[in-house]
Chains A and B, each alone.
Chain A
Amino acid sequence: MAATVEIDESHGAGETLTHGISNSNFGSSDAANLVAANYPITPGNNSYEKWQKFHVSAMGGSSKIKTLKVWRTTALGGSAVHVTNAREAGYAGAAVYATPVATDSSVATQAMPTSEPTGANLGIGGSLAGEITVAGSSDYLVHQVQSDAGDIAGASTTMHYQYEEVA
């Protein structure tokens, strides 16, 4: 790969930043790289929001990174929903960091797409048409799992990413 791209995650009131997360597990704790089994989400409750960014730590000879896409697959189970601020239409611009909550997110308000979007659904510099031309980060990807009282253990949601790179 030319450019070096990692996913960073922010937590806490003071925005503790974890670079290059090793997993994106949702749970009942506001923490990066958590072990889901240790922080289960009680049916009917929500996970803590995830506040993540695409971070280009090195351009590696490339001139731009653009057209960020995120989507999910696999069965969530029951009537749980995976919500996000990512969207192709009506993108609200760059979300301003706020301490992650386990109440219904006011930022992640639309279902995460279940197939690859046609165009960008996560912005750079507040715009879906934005570009990263020097080492830097995307807008926040804010997402959350909202479960239902009838949901059962073992449901999963698997994330996929795509971006364009011009070298």
Chain B
Amino acid sequence: MDNTKYIFNREGVEEDVPLEVYKWVATYKDGSELKQFDKETGIFHQVGEIQQDKLARFTMICTEEEKIKHTISVPEGAKIIHKYNRYVFNAKRPDEIKLTIYIFGYKIGGHHHFNFILPDGNIVQNITGEIRAEDGKWVY
């Protein structure tokens, strides 16, 4: 259990950042790392802070079970993609459900490669970046 309080400093104003179900680690060619949630410093890093030209690998790690991780090798010249698709189903009803799809991949030479970590932990891939909820299923 990680009880660290993570902070993002936005132009001098500190923001609390709750842990995500999955967090990223960027590994550079020299072996050094930039962690989205840096436990040693308590600092939250945005994906925009990654030095893309030095990047070798990008890993998504399950926060509750860190042995569950998904790593992609980043080709030379590629730019990392990382975002969340946040869903609110049955909004403002007693059975409201909030789910997140964790999206990561890269863009290179006009081509994209997307990975989606679904709420059940499964990973699917495509090159369009499109994923939608339809009749209780994910369509991609």
Contacts and interface: CB of A to CB of B under 8 A. Distances in A.
Interface residues of A, number: 27
A163 interface: yes
A60 B15 contact: yes
B92 A159 contact: yes
B132 interface: yes
B17 A60 contact: yes
B92 A63 contact: no
Interface stretch (B65-73, B81-89, B110-118): B81-89
Given A7-B91, A7-B92, A160-B90, A61 B17 contact: yes
B76 interface: no
Interface string A132-167: 000000000000000000000000001111111111
Interface residues of B, number: 32
Contact of B18 (A23, A24, A60, A162): A60
**Could you tell me the dominant secondary structure of chain A's interface residues?**
loop
Nearest to B94: A23
Contact of A158 (B83, B86, B93): B93
Contacts of A63: 46-48
B1 interface: no
12 contacts: A1-B18, A2-B20, A22-B92, A23-B93, A24-B92, A59-B15, A61-B46, A63-B46, A158-B91, A162-B133, A164-B83, A167-B84
Contact of B46 (A1, A5, A167): A167
A106 interface: no
A162 B91 contact: no
Given A61-B44, A164-B84, A159 B18 contact: no
Contacts of B98: 1
Given A115-B135, A116-B134, 11 more contacts: A21-B92, A24-B91, A61-B15, A61-B17, A115-B134, A160-B88, A160-B91, A164-B86, A166-B47, A166-B84, A167-B83
